[in-house]
Amino acid sequence: MNHTDTPSLHAASAPLDEDSPWPPPQQRAQQREAKRQAVLSAAAQLFNERGFHATSLDDIAARLGVSKPTLYYYVKNKEEILLGCVRQGLQLMLDGIEDSRCGGGSALDQLTTCMQVYARIVTQDFGMCLIRVGDEQVSADNRGELRRIKAAIDHEFRRLVTQGVEEGSLAPCDPKMTAFVIGGALSWIGRWYQPGGEYTPEQIASQCLQTLLGGVLRRDPPASSH
């Protein structure tokens, strides 16, 4: 019985003792990555609950039921953990935007999908961390990287708004400012959303999209109720 799905790995390395208490290398790498992910997830939850500075490595270790020295096997320090969390939040957004682009359709279709993706991700641990922990918490070197990725996401929204105006589905507007308004309203969800609260992430996304796309003002003439 094999410990791995990739027989070629075995062929390339020394024969393994099937009774060895150590798993084969590929499985060890997978386990290590799974554990690093668990560290990042626990950290993101704590950062979101208490703030970055109020969370210690001891808190993260305690939530995982391990010792602090164990954490150092997977991460160097708290800033590296935060960067890992924020990078994953950003990557989820980039992936979602890429999927919506591949899905095709009108600019309005793609913009709607991007807004749904964005609204969903900011209610999840890594996306919420991206919103709640400001860029100024990371060192200047890493801040540049985060801002570049955020700018890329913002530009994608701006591009879709511009195309939407061109295709006639969106009202003529300043695409940069409109993208800021959309991104702002959706980002803010990550600040006020409470998991298990009154609204599900799906309800929030649906209502926010409706308000942002349709606006607040009544479209048909008001009924004469008096």
Question: What are the residues binding a second copy (CB under 8 A)?
Answer: 49-51, 53-54, 108, 132, 134, 136-137, 161, 164, 167-171, 173-174, 177-178, 180-189, 191-192, 199, 204, 207-208, 210-219, 222-223, 225
The CB-of-219 to a second copy minimum distance in angstroms stands at 7
Name the residue nearer to a second copy (CB basis): 146 or 170. 170
Name the residue nearer to a second copy (CB basis): 74 or 186. 186
Name the residue nearer to a second copy (CB basis): 74 or 129. 129
CA 67, 73, 78, 83 torsion: positive or negative?
negative
Q: Which amino acid is at 217?
A: L
Which of 92, 200, 75, 90 is CA-nearest to residue 147? 90
Instruction: Report yes or no: 122 and 129 within 8 Å, Cβ to Cβ.
Output: no
d(CA 44, CA 163): 35
The CB-of-101 to a second copy minimum distance in angstroms stands at 19
Name the residue nearer to a second copy (CB basis): 40 or 46. 46
The CB-of-44 to a second copy minimum distance in angstroms stands at 14
d(CA 136, CA 133): 8
**Residue 131: how many CB atoms within 10 A of its CB?**
20
The CB-of-40 to a second copy minimum distance in angstroms stands at 19
Q: How far apart are the first and last CA of the chain?
A: 80
Name the residue nearer to a second copy (CB basis): 142 or 187. 187
The CB-of-54 to a second copy minimum distance in angstroms stands at 6
